[in-house]
Each structure stands twice: as structure tokens, then as C-alpha cells.
Amino acid sequence: MVVDTIFFDLDDTLVLTSDHDKPSFAAACALAKERKPAIDDVAMLAAFKKRFSATPWDPDYKVEVAQWRANLWNEAMQEQGLADPDVALEIQNCFDQTRMGIFTWVEGVPEMIAQLKAANYKMCIITNGHHKVQHDKLDACKAADIFEHIIVGGDEVLEGNPEKPAASIFLKACQMVRCTPENAIHVGDSLSSDIQGAINASLAGSVWVNRKNAEAPEAPVPTYTVQVVTELPEVLAKLRGKSKVQLAMVVVVAVLFLVKFRLSEGLWTPHFSRRQKKPSPFRG
């Protein structure tokens, strides 16, 4: 098994999205407090997050995603009798602008991708999420500058296809970069989407980005675990070592098989046997 292809998740793998969310929510709350001084912004944020977790965008795709989220802010404000659709939209725009303004790679990612490219690895980002939100994130970190291939799960959904962990999205990536699943690995932070997805697609393996040192699960089992994505070159070095050992074992087994076959067919007589069969000049 030679791994020559790497698929990457985006959020909390190549970019620490959760970290960027915190200051963005803080800016959104500060704006809410400015516009509505009476508001309990902590309670408003909790009410927003509860609604967001349940339905982060319009399941019917009729309401534009920023407006949908503005409506969630408005409902959260309404819990305190302070509904204001215009302010709610302002709050959502503030969140988006703050987050996109700071949305950047984990330190060392562009350099690592350049090194992997120089070492002839084929690569593709496979990211789940709402199509517009994910494309905005990819634009913000200028993903197309360093990745030739990108698949957005939300685009798949619009075409009627499932996103991660379905095997189909990984097989699409294989077609895109021209590799076979057994030559590819997937790197991501989500056990249910990334690690399970690699298993579903029968990839060569998976690398779990376990940033917070969470306890390893019983299933799905990642092939390798790292704390930060930039540890990937060490994993690839291990994989190269493993494939060299596998190749050496295949060669040894093939040689042993050939020797056994030739001996059993009488096609090859070991040197010492021939000497024994040779008539002795001192006989008779």
C-alpha cells in the first residue's frame, strides 16, 4: 500500500473554526448590547446557540442563510421582549464579518501543503456544511491558492448527494485527483464524519485530529491520531516505513515460493546435490 493522496477536512482541522467563533460571538454580543442596552447578551447568545444547533439554516433552502440566522437572533431577542429584525440582521452580519476577517490557516499549514505538493502528494479538501457558508470560509482563507481540488458537502446536497461520512463524496474526490481509495487517507477532527467516512469509503486509513486529547473511542477507530494537522508529515513517514516493510515481506515470500516451486518441479537442483550425483573418478 502506497499512500500518495491526502484528503483534508476544513473546519477545526486546517482552520481552527471554533477558536474564530469565540471573538465573533463576542463582537456580535457587544453590538447587541450597544443597540439594545437592556438586553442580557449572555442569555441571548445561549438562546441563539440552542436554535442554531437545531436548525443552522433553512432546511428547504428558501431563506438565505444570513437572513435565516438573523431570524434566530431575533427569536433569541424576542425571549426578552426585545425583538428587532433590523438589529438582528446587523448582529448576524457583524458575526460573519468578524469571523471572515480572522478566518485563517492553522500556523504552518500553507508551508506543509507546499512540501506535500513538492513530494508529489495529491490533495483535496472535503468539507461539510452549508454551501454558501463553506464557500465564504474557503474564500476567506484563500483555499484555492494552495488547494487544486475542493469538494463542498453543501454543493453535494444541492445536487441530491449525501456529504461526509458517505462513501460517495470520498469516491468523487478519488475520481477528481485520479487515485484509488486504497492509496488515499483522510485527515479530520470529526469521528462521525471524517474517520467513519474514511472507513465507509475503504480508504487506506484515517488521521484523527484530536486537539483536546479526547479519549479514544471504541469505534470508529482512526488509523493514526495527531493533536494538530501539521504533525501529518510524521504520520506519512511512518506510513512510508510501513509500506517498505510490506514490500520487503512480499519479495521474501515471492522468493521462497519460487524456490519451493522449482524444487518441487525438479527444475532446480541445489549445487550440493549435483556434486553428490556426479560419479566419483575413484570408483570402479
> Shortest Cβ distance from residue 206 to Mg ion (Å)?
13
Nearer to Mg ion, 11 or 41 (CB): 11
Nearer to Mg ion, 92 or 127 (CB): 127
Q: How far apart are the C-alpha atoms of 86 and 51, rounded to whole Å?
A: 19
Total number of residues shown for the chain: 284
The C-alpha cell at 9 is 477536512
Nearer to Mg ion, 12 or 163 (CB): 12
Nearer to Mg ion, 74 or 190 (CB): 190
The residues near 230 (Cβ < 8 Å, ≥ 6 apart) are: 106, 107, 108, 109, 112
Q: How far apart are the C-alpha atoms of 27 and 21, rounded to whole Å?
A: 10
> Shortest Cβ distance from residue 18 to Mg ion (Å)?
9
> Shortest Cβ distance from residue 87 to Mg ion (Å)?
31
> Shortest Cβ distance from residue 207 to Mg ion (Å)?
13
Check: CB of residue 150 under 8 Å from CB of residue 138.
yes
> Shortest Cβ distance from residue 20 to Mg ion (Å)?
13
Nearer to Mg ion, 9 or 41 (CB): 9
> Shortest Cβ distance from residue 174 to Mg ion (Å)?
20
Which residues form the interface with Mg ion (CB under 5 A)? Answer: 9, 11-12, 189-190
Residue closest to Mg ion, measured at CB: 11
Nearer to Mg ion, 197 or 205 (CB): 197
Nearer to Mg ion, 156 or 189 (CB): 189
> Shortest Cβ distance from residue 181 to Mg ion (Å)?
21
Q: Are strands 122-127 and 224-226 parallel, antiparallel or unpaired?
A: unpaired
